Homo-oligomer: A and B are copies of this chain.
Amino acid sequence: MMQIENFKTVVERYQYIFFDAYGVLKNNKGLVEGIEQTFLHLEEQQKEYFIVTNDASRSPMQLAESYHRLGLKIVDHERIISSGMLAKEYLDLKVNDGIVAYLGTENSAHYIESSGLHTLPVREVNESNIDQVNALVLLDDEGFDWFGDLNKTVNLLRKRTIPAIVANTDNTYPVNQKEVSIAIGGIATMIESIVGKRFIRFGKPDSQMFMFAYDLIRERNPVSKKDILMVGDTLHTDIIGGNKFGLDTVLVLTGNTQAKDAETRIHATGIVPTYICENAVVG
């Protein structure tokens, strides 16, 4: 009943292609087979592309390097829009001085640092510096002690009326074919409900992510949203986000949504992609 379309044919109709990363370009086994072809084809056809990814644990530069290591040499860091970039922009615009406390690795904190701000892991917040803490950012599920530092985070938010930012909307991420890990987005939801405060969340399905890429295009060329295609594997981030921003969308079956239950899920959620394709490979 559900019609599976050829990705190459779909792509022909658009001038700009936005890709989700995990589940579209790669998965827990490495690159999706043949995905290099897609990017060669796009360059040949002079179509422009962006990778729009909910990831705040690394800089776009480091994300690009991770693709290079997997064998996808063609992807430049300037083609990557991450939710971490929005968190960084927020801090640049809205937090002018003091300390930004964070949960995550040192590396994740390095990227968000900016001129006037000092980053500090939550575990190092104490009576002597807590009054200078002007924001909290949740970056990664690793790099801290969950028991000690999550309890510290709850008490920090009870004591200080500061913005709390999380640049990841996922509850879990896959670690292998059978198992998942709790993502920093899932932890954020727990902390948010415990302290009763509203976090500022960046990342798909929020339109700010799509706007970031859209603006990069518009800076150079006039463009209509009708010329942009969003390709993703997840209904409640990539597809509803793309739809809401006014883009046509492709659901691919190489990640979170499997062929056997795509139709059921689309009906159950009411989130309808413009097209469904096996994968994002131009075969």
Contacts and interface: CB of A to CB of B under 8 A. Distances in A.
B200 A272 contact: no
Contacts of A180: 154-155, 158
A32 interface: no
A4 interface: no
A248 B193 CA distance: 26
Interface residues of A, number: 59
A61 interface: no
Contacts of A182: 150-151, 154, 190, 194
Contacts of A199: 270
A196 B265 CA distance: 11
Given A154-B182, A180-B154, A206-B207, A196 B268 contact: yes
Interface string A186-200: 110110011111111
Given A155-B179, A189-B190, A189-B193, A270 B161 contact: yes
Interface of A: 89-90, 93-94, 145-147, 150-151, 154-155, 157-159, 161-164, 171-172, 178-182, 186-187, 189-190, 193-200, 202, 206-208, 211, 225-226, 236, 240, 243-248, 266-272
